[in-house]
Chains A and B, each alone.
Chain A
Amino acid sequence: RKEVEQDPGPFNVPEGATVAFNCTYSNSASQSFFWYRQDCRKEPKLLMSVYSSGNEDGRFTAQLNRASQYISLLIRDSKLSDSATYLCVVRVNQGGKLIFGQGTELSVKP
């Protein structure tokens, strides 16, 4: 079983749609959680950190459920520019290695 699991997609949605990605992690000692975005043939870029209380950044909302070891990302009013692969990322200790999920591909169509 992979340490971080995501639905690979692809998710094909129209502009303006709301889309949700889910992720589960296996190590209950994990301390830090992130969503990264990766465009085709580019480097991963931090989208947002995920906090236990849930957090929002514009159209993006991230949730963490430590009991279920589950992380989610909600994108509202999706834009064409949101098309990318979204990577769920977990870190066990501060300053330690990141463990990446396989990524969920999102394609937003006009």
Chain B
Amino acid sequence: DARVTQTPRHKVTEMGQEVTMRCQPILGHNTVFWYRQTMMQGLELLAYFRNRAPLDDSGMPKDRFSAEMPDATLATLKIQPSEPRDSAVYFCASGRVGQPQHFGDGTRLSIL
């Protein structure tokens, strides 16, 4: 079965450091989503892309977060500088218009 691949699976770093999370969407999927999950807020959309163009990043703190799709096989989410409140599980999902989204295993991020 094709899967969305996320790296790293776990990341622990100190506040102030840059964090880069990567996602390889399923081949043929033209829409890529970044979600964040915390106990308090649940699953929230940060940003999403269609055909590599950003469509909505209203859920993302613009001062420290950035999301890009350098090519169709790679999406990145960066946090700089990181803060303890950014600690969460970050999920990438991909899909096609009108089809359900498929999630990656997530990156578990801890900012000390």
Contacts and interface: CB of A to CB of B under 8 A. Distances in A.
B103 A43 contact: yes
Nearest to B50: A95
Given A43-B106, A102-B42, A49 B100 contact: yes
Contacts of B42: 100-103
Given A43-B106, A97-B33, 20 more contacts: A43-B91, A43-B105, A44-B43, A44-B103, A46-B100, A49-B100, A87-B43, A94-B97, A95-B31, A95-B50, A95-B95, A95-B96, A95-B97, A97-B45, A97-B56, A98-B93, A98-B101, A99-B45, A100-B43, A102-B42
A49 B101 CA distance: 11
Chain B facing A: main interface SS: strand
B104 interface: yes
Interface of A: 34, 42-46, 49, 87, 94-95, 97-103
Interface residues of B, number: 22
11 contacts: A34-B100, A42-B105, A43-B91, A45-B103, A46-B102, A94-B97, A95-B50, A95-B96, A98-B33, A98-B93, A102-B42
